[in-house]
Amino acid sequence: MNINGSVFAAMLTPMNDQGDVAPENVGVLVDHILSRGVHGLYASGSTGESVLQSREERAEVLTALADHAAGKTTLIAHVGAASTREAVALAELAGEKGYDAVSAVPPYYYKHRYEDIVAYYTAIADASGLPLIIYNIPALSGTDLSTEKLLELMEDPRIAGVKYTAQDLFQFGELKKAAPEKKLYFGTDEMFIGAAAAGADGGIGSTYNLIGDLYLAVETAIAAGDVDRARRAQRMANDFIAILLRAGVVPGLKHCLNRLGVPVGSVRAPFSPVSAAGAKELDAWMESVNLSLGNGAAKALD
């Protein structure tokens, strides 16, 4: 159950100005993301505003992505939902549409028993027939799986690994040590350098929609022992992330891509567009690194 590649963009969901999903614009976004060198897409996750969408809307986006890019790049469908029934339906679709893997956040809102979480992941694996990546994001899911519980879940051979979106590099390292055969992808963009040094199998991140080439630069530099270049690439990414955290991550990313001419549209309420002050900061950062459709941020490293 191999998953090709290591650096995957947690894809935004294109929408129109009314906040409706715009699957017709998925291809343009995907082509832009891949032009930065990333290895694939992780769709319908947190960055994709999936919890604000119906199952039918998520299915539209997953179908549009598969129709455009299945077989051309690695595709991972996030199918996690509050109910097992919703997650299973999306997992079945991913299996039918030629995805390379599925991923799922634990069932959220209610505090579920661990045994019920295991049953949820088992049902998803059964439905998709694809490698399954657990999406561990305790700050948003409300479920903080211990090292022991994550390792227990990964005893199922269909579970390929974990998308680890947390700040505990000690736990991350312990998971990697105990399960070296599993894929551990780091999802906290601003700390990617630390995870890469700790042996991460790659990263899956929201800012990869715009600056995926910087994370490739970090990964390549760490592998080559060029710590200085890795630090400079991470610092450049973090300067951008600091502005995004003030402006709003998803609205800010959409603003930047729209500014480049990539039509990702608006965000869905209760998100709101970036403020004038936020847009001014983002625009200034893009200009400072000469970011354009034809010029990636990593070129400023040289």
| Residue 121 falls in the annotated catalytic set | no
- Residue 254: name the closest of 91, 246, 69, 244 by CA: 244
Taking the C-alpha atoms of residue 250 and residue 255, their distance in angstroms, rounded to an integer, is: 9
- The answer to whether the beta carbons of residues 237 and 40 sit under 8 Å apart is no
Residue 63 token pair: 């179908």
50: tokens are 């999936």
Q: What are the CA-CA distances from residue 275 to residues 210, 244, 248, 288 (Å)?
A: 19, 12, 9, 20
Catalytic residue among 99, 163, 183, 215: 163
Residue type at position 224: A
Let me know if 163 is a catalytic residue: yes
Contact of 9 with 42, CB cutoff 8 Å: yes
99 to 53, 141, 203, 224: CA distances (angstroms)? 20, 24, 18, 31
Q: Name the nearest CA neighbour of 101 among 81, 129, 73, 126.
A: 129
- Which of 99, 120, 121, 135 is the catalytic position? 135
The residues annotated with a catalytic role in the active site are 135, 163
